[in-house]
Structure 1
Amino acid sequence: MTPREQPWVAEPEQTGRILVLSDNPIARAIAVIASAVGRTVLVESADDGGPGLEPQPGDAVVLCDHDAPDAPAVLRAALASEAVYVAMMASRRRAEGLVAELSAEGVDTGTLHVPAGHNLGGKAPGEIALSVVAEIVAESYGRPGGPMRG
């Protein structure tokens, strides 16, 4: 009898952590969904980036609060780090000022994902979190995301 081919692997590839600032319903949903796909998540509740938000090589950084007092510093540090994914929750309009500020300082914002996530159309925290985790997973495999059907 031929063994059945499974479309999954028992142990996913090792990946970096997902660092999320700050604690809100979207951040908590990211933690649940990302944990379900085998990712380690650190949600930093301090609005100033806290002591734990130090990206390591391979980490993903998601700023869930573009109004956090230290948002520019968090993004500056994340974009200068070896994080493989840096994103911010914000509408394009609301992010323009912050991106312009960082660009004026000479920060390369070309890899910043704003708004964070894939365009799934969801509005609820869990739906938004799903789109962000999907984008992180796609990025970690070098994929653009989108439908599997050809």
Structure 2
Amino acid sequence: MSAEDLLVRADDLRSGRTPFVLATVVRAERPTSARPGDRALVLPDGTIEGFVGGTCAESTVRVEGLRLLETGESTLLRITARDEAGMAPEGMVRVHNHCLSGGSLDIFLEAMLPALLVQVYGQAPVARALVEIGRVLGHDVRPLPEPTTPLPSDTGAVVVASHGRDEEPVLRAAMRAGVPYIGLVASKRRGAAVLADLELTDEEHDRVRTPAGLDIGARTAPEIALSIYAELIALRPRTAAATEHPHHLPACHADE
């Protein structure tokens, strides 16, 4: 795959909301088959498209790439055929791979995850503010045109801000789809009444956040929208970046 074809493929993956890791060789110490500027894509199923070295380097890039798809981090990966004393510098993952024929590779791994997909139902000022502010934050925010509109499988959040109109079918659809964040813009009293009418289990009840958003004293529509995104940020998984991997990968038979 040529460099141009690989970048076209990366654009196609982005447009299709498919996560991937872009691996770029930034340093190569001989003997290695890769050269600075070589690139590859790591897909969620472990497929590697492109070239960043032989089987030994590829196996390491696959393992680290899949890890980064889980954490959303990016890092500099150093693959060496020998142990290096001391801790890896901050921001670097260092892996000793016995099967390398020698030399070392520095490969920058950049996690390319699709933006959080937020579906907003309603035409009220809060709904409009959710669309505007969410896009400024870099989220993929889409107004939900109808309560029966199917939700994409990778929807990360559904917020209902319709002030009583068609709330129940949207909430039920979000629960059936397993959407991680479901928010209902309503007062505590009205929100509790809506959930009671849904006859939810305790687990389902806990999945719907109403009033949606953190209590920051919000009054205006933009402030309410901001409080909801603040809650989304507060609830997202937090990971600590690894700085060194002391493990050794098993030897393989291909030469670098």
Same fold (TM over 0.5): yes
Find the partner of 1:39 among 139, 150, 161. Answer: 139
What's the counterpart of residue 160 of structure 2?
Answer: 63
1:103 deviates by: 2.3
Match of 1:100 among 196, 216, 241: 196
Q: Aligned letter for 2:212?
A: A
Aligned residues: 131
Unpaired segments ≥5 residues, structure 2? 1-110, 240-256
Judge conservation of contact 1:17–1:39 (CA < 8 Å) in 2: yes
Extract structure 1 runs of 4+ deviating beyond 3 A: 11-16, 104-107
Separation in structure 2 between the aligned mates of residue 32 and residue 21 of structure 1, nearest angstrom: 14
Within the candidate set 219, 225, 230, 1:123 is matched to 219
Q: Distance in 2 between matches of 1:42 and 1:137?
A: 18
1:80 aligns with 2:176: yes
Instruction: Using the TM superposition, give the Cα deviation of residue 82 of structure 1 relative to its aligned residue in structure 2, in angstroms.
Output: 2.2
SS of corresponding position for 2:172: helix
Q: CA deviation at 1:56?
A: 2.3
In 1: Cα distance, 2:156 partner to 2:121 partner: 13
How far apart, in 1, do the equivalents of 2:201 and 2:179 lie?
A: 20
Residue in 2 aligned with 1:109?
205
| Deviation of 1:130 (Å) | 0.4
TM-score normalised according to structure 2 size: 0.45
Distance 1:135 1:104, change over 3 A: closer
Identity %: 29
Measure the CA separation in 2 of the matches of 1:64 and 1:12.
30
Tell whether the 8 Å contact from 1:57 to 1:81 is kept in structure 2 after alignment: no
| In 1, Cα distance between equivalents of 2:168 and 2:206 | 15
| Structure (1/2) with the larger strand percentage | 2
User: Contact 1:19–1:55 (CA<8 Å) still a contact in 2?
Assistant: no
Rg larger for: 2
Q: Is the 8 A contact 1:117 1:133 kept in 2?
A: yes
Report the counterpart of residue 133 of structure 1 in structure 2: 229
Instruction: Please name the residue that 2:116 is paired with.
Output: 16
After superposition, the C-alpha distances for 1:104-138 in whole angstroms (9 at most, x for unaligned) are 58882211100000001011001001001111122
The DSSP-based 3-state class of the residue aligned with 1:135 is helix
Aligned-CA RMSD value: 2.8
Contact 2:119 2:159 in 1 (8 A): yes
Q: Contact conserved, 1:61 with 1:83, CA < 8 A, in 2?
A: yes
Say whether the 8 Å CA contact 1:66–1:88 is kept in structure 2. Answer: no
